[in-house]
Amino acid sequence: MAALLLTGGRVVDPANRLDAKMDVLISGGKITAVGADAAKQASRDVERMDVSDLIVCPGLIDLHVHLRDPGQTTKENIATGTAAAARGGFTSIVCMPNTVPAIDNAGTVALIHERAAQNGVVNVFVAGAITKNIAGEELASIGSLKRAGVVAITDDGHCVQNNELMRRALEYAKMFDLPVMDHCQDYSLVTDGVMHEGYWNTVLGLRGWPSAGEEMIVARNILLAELTGARVHCQHLSAAGSVALLREAKKRGVPISGEACPHHFTLTDAAVAGSEKFWAEDGKALNLQPSTFNLPEWPAYDTNFKMNPPLRTARDREAVLEGLADGTIEILCSDHAPHCDYEKEVEFDYAPFGIIGLETELALSLMQLYHGKRLSLPDLIAKYTINPARLLNLPKGTLAVGADADVTVFDPDREWVFERAGTASKSANSPFFGWKLKGRAVATIVGGKKLWTEQKELVTA
Ligand SMILES: [Zn+2]
């Protein structure tokens, strides 16, 4: 593989506390030099890529992605899902086990590793199920999942309701040094809720999904993490109360962590009532300059605003942003959840939960956290690199010499409009089409190979 020299970029590598203008040399699929040595060590025929005025950081990691492979490949497959990841600037993703069949045994893990090696363009790590068939009744063979190479276990999409079973899952996971990731949803409280329980679901006549339904399980997980000493990671936090619980528990040293998704800290439940209602109130807080373009429009009951957990109030959105800003929530991710048009084009009650997110999450995070002056660039990048790598013990998320040459180059100020036609995903269930976004990946490099570059002219021989 040819050597590649990235010249003149601002290198931001939180794992090594680097933030300075310097060069990066890649050869043999590894990072071989960073800083003044890079140009010196480069051979004369090295391929040079001028990345001045751009950010160069460790390849971004999304630890919450639904690839829908095997079994639901009309929604997405490993080739299209990883292509979407590459376009979004992601070099590693963790796929969720709620496939058909579920990833609850070593054979299915091996199948995904094989398909990812054949058809995937970015690194695919696998999360195994906590329970057999994600049914919440009987533990999966956690030891054999670990031996097959899973990096975590989760019943995502579902939530283990039986606390004793969850306790045993944590005890096994601890023995095998696996973190347990949890989709926090108390079924008895949430019942068949489809959107946040509050003002708007009453106005719209939709069944409510109360914040307490999430907070109850976050509290349960904190207690069980404390009891067992196992590492528990709360997925896609949406409610203010969850953030407060996590903050308090972390202060006490409980081995608990959390993640947030851009839709929860950008949108609110008012969006389900249509764009007019959203822009008139909660949308004002977003940093979009409507003078230069038309604000996106959508009707009430648009099912691309239906996700699980649901969009919540402006107060919850603010609490999630504060949790990200003060370090309570250490990880950013998409919960990329593709669904076919025909599945989403039904009444709100009947539509499946979830939206795609791999291609918009970097921009939305930059807009709300960096341009919104809540997080520095290094702190934001850490939540997409070294923090998820540490949680899952991945040998990724760093530009240290000798590390795999997974590198993301992005422009935090690039303005662009997210178009339906331009997505690499097989599905198009995004609420953000037509949005003018700020910040975009320009090049995605995996194992030293340039997978995708936004501007071909950037690449010079
Ligand atoms: Zn989930």
Contacts (Cβ under 8 Å, ≥6 apart) of 120: 78, 79, 82
Residue 187 Cα to ligand 1 midpoint, Å, equals: 13
Catalytic residues: 335
For residue 458, the model assigns a pLDDT of 36
Q: What is the DSSP string of 405-459?
A: --EEEEEEEEEEE--GGG--SS----TTTT-EEEEEEEEEEETTEEEEES-GGGE
> Element (H or E) spanning 280, and its range?
helix 275-280
Q: According to the model, what pLDDT value does residue 28 have?
A: 95
Please spell the DSSP secondary structure of 145-160, one letter per residue.
HHHHT-SEE--TTS--
Distance CA 174, CA 269 (A): 37
Q: Is 373 exposed, middle or buried (0-12, 13-18, 19+ CB in 10 A)?
A: exposed
The CA 401 to ligand 1 mean position distance, Å, reads: 36
pTM assigned to the model:
0.97
What is the pLDDT, as a whole number, of residue 294? 82
DSSP structural state of residue 2: -
Q: What pLDDT was estimated at residue 2? A: 79
Q: 158: CA distance to ligand 1 center in Å? A: 7
203 token code pair? 């106005």
Measured in Å, residue 347 CA sits from the centre of ligand 1 at 21
Residue with tokens 């890529």: 49
Q: How confident is the model at residue 291, as a pLDDT? A: 63
> Ligand 1 centroid vs 69 CA: distance in angstroms?
17
Instruction: Note whether 259 and 331 are within 8 A (CB).
Output: yes
* Sheet strands side by side (includes 331-332): 60-65, 90-95, 123-128, 152-153, 180-182, 232-234, 256-260, 331-332
Taking alpha carbons only, the member of 37, 41, 35, 36 closest to residue 3 is 41
3-state secondary structure at position 310: coil
The pLDDT value recorded for residue 455 is 60
Q: By the 8 A CB rule, do 249 and 242 touch?
A: no
- Rounded distance from Cα 136 to ligand 1 centre (Å): 14
Whole-number Å distance, alpha carbon 308 to ligand 1 midpoint, is 6
Return per-residue pLDDT of the chain as tens, 461 residues. 679 999 999 999 999 999 999 999 999 999 999 999 999 999 999 999 999 999 999 999 999 999 999 999 999 999 999 999 999 999 999 999 999 999 999 999 999 999 999 999 999 999 999 999 999 999 999 999 999 999 999 999 999 999 999 999 999 999 999 999 999 999 999 999 999 999 999 999 999 999 999 999 999 999 999 999 999 999 999 999 999 999 999 999 999 999 999 999 999 999 999 999 999 999 999 977 666 678 999 999 999 999 999 999 999 999 999 999 999 999 999 999 999 999 999 999 999 999 999 999 999 999 999 999 999 999 999 999 999 999 999 999 999 999 999 999 999 999 999 999 889 999 999 999 999 999 999 999 999 999 878 764 333 32
Please tell me what DSSP assigns to residue 337: -
Tokens 């751009």 correspond to 54
Check residue 454 and give its pLDDT.
74
Distance between Cα 448 and ligand 1 center (Å)? 32
How far, in Å, CA of 179 to CA of 107, rounded? 21
